[in-house]
Structure 1
């Protein structure tokens, strides 16, 4: 009889992708193989679970509760056709040709196969985070002017200061009755400084205009995954747009390559504000308490978690090498894959609430700054359309 839920055996949610099922099976197979100290029966059951869930047709039938070849519908305590029958009398009970032939009792009804419990359809949603519970919410103003950095020329204030200093130099020289040649020299020096400062200021303004013309006030680049098993990415995209775009300098990227030149979107999200960058990996896992350390080791309810892997530490190392001038932090955002609650300990693991309050506040330290150099590098890494 099938009395174990295959999803629970593998430690994956009911909407797990084939790759997640394969990863979970491989991890468990190493520990449950008879050569590693496991039992043959447990390993056969694990293999049956994998073969069933890895095959789309068999998985669909399993989810419907269909029966499969190899599932015995009778308990092992009931006789089968392979057992000796009364047609062959024993020595202890000789046959009597004059007695009526033995009529066996009706065969017991088959034992009902226990079908897996059908979990109610679960559509993950974002929690509502009240603004008054977000410490940085009122500290940023959406209407504040965005400042582009690094600047390639002097600011307007510096340019005006240089021009004023040049005028003061000429006037002071004239009022002090300096020789004509000194007055002429002061005019030439002051004029040259003002012209050079003005030239650099205009060049910087032109670069700013070109950057603005190319990107405008756009804050989101790329797009999250669209597959059924990428729902966590879409939830994070909604979370970032709903809350973090309140910060004027925030720029959000979805679907980035992990390395330069790659065409695979191995990094789910990146959020930049000023010189601070947050890299995000999104997961939809079973409810429970998760602890995730800096190496990517995951514990669920205090035990090693085999239902998914974490690549965020590798992405952090790659981007720190790619962007040495940026301050980079990582976050593993976890959503419940079925009805229930997710909690996290200290470390990389984050719930949506913790992420918005803590890392949102970290990004809001430079609320109005956009680092063009870092953003340009990030945009070269975006491989998903959007």
Structure 2
């Protein structure tokens, strides 16, 4: 990986102190040393980075060369008062939006409007609490008005009270001791009440008694449905809460699977460094699209993709390679070609990942992107077919083109999609 940034090689910031650089060098050198089963080429890069950054004069000259080769960002425009879709691309590293979870929804400084969260927080909470309260009162009235004249009457009373446990939202009922027993009693009591309403039961009841029993049985079904819906969204609110939805835009670590288990194959130090390099390249996209979420090492079962960039109902699966200057394109079978000749790459695996994720996230437009980092001083060009599932992107324009593809979704966060990617897809849960 010639031409690699010395700071990226050691995985430190440009502002790192001499002690931090020394510590990072020792850890990386031990990890990639050929005698420890590491990569010889990567070890040479680590040595080169250390020789440059450990010498203050060489480091200062190297920093000046980085500043001289870097493309200066365009000046950020003044925030307009009205939305302007053609506003200039900015590369600021500051988050252009408020992140106060107790205040109003964060608003982008470029005037594109607030970050919209779907579904909103607290879904079904008020209807569930009202329905539950009414049902508890109804059961209480039945228990208070019942005349207890024997052991069977007390058993019926306990079973009737157990109907409340049945209609509790699951995230509450999990805390009830012996909840399984109480739920069985409550369901059986509901069935028994329903049987008394049938013509062959021959149970003498007044119209008021019949109405109460109908309310008890119908409420058991209706209230349980409402509280169940609330509990489902409550779990979502806990997993993807307001800070996560509004403030967090990064999950996972570049160069590592999202879930630390035995399913995913190990990642070499060389590839881990490449993952970090690509993740840094995506920072401007997250800045320009505050509703976007980057998941490093996203997993679908045992299938791991380097990066998944989600914005609204669009998801970009991103992998990267390093190659010499020239023209890259994909053939009709999804294989990568370099200057018209076959070139080994993860493009076919990425195309398979796109198909798998499309089957998983059926409401999401999933597309693959192969980012090509050029060797030092090289120029990369790409040619793509309009119907291709995977698009080749030169590293120097990848952030801009990813932003252009994701931007039409606006600034929306679909929490159920993000929850599926983070907590269900890695384990193959339906």
Provide the TM-score with structure 1 as the length reference.
0.48
The structure whose RCO (Cα within 8 Å, separation 6+) is larger is: 1
- Between Structure 1 and Structure 2, which shows a larger proportion of helix residues? 2
CA radius of gyration, larger in:
1
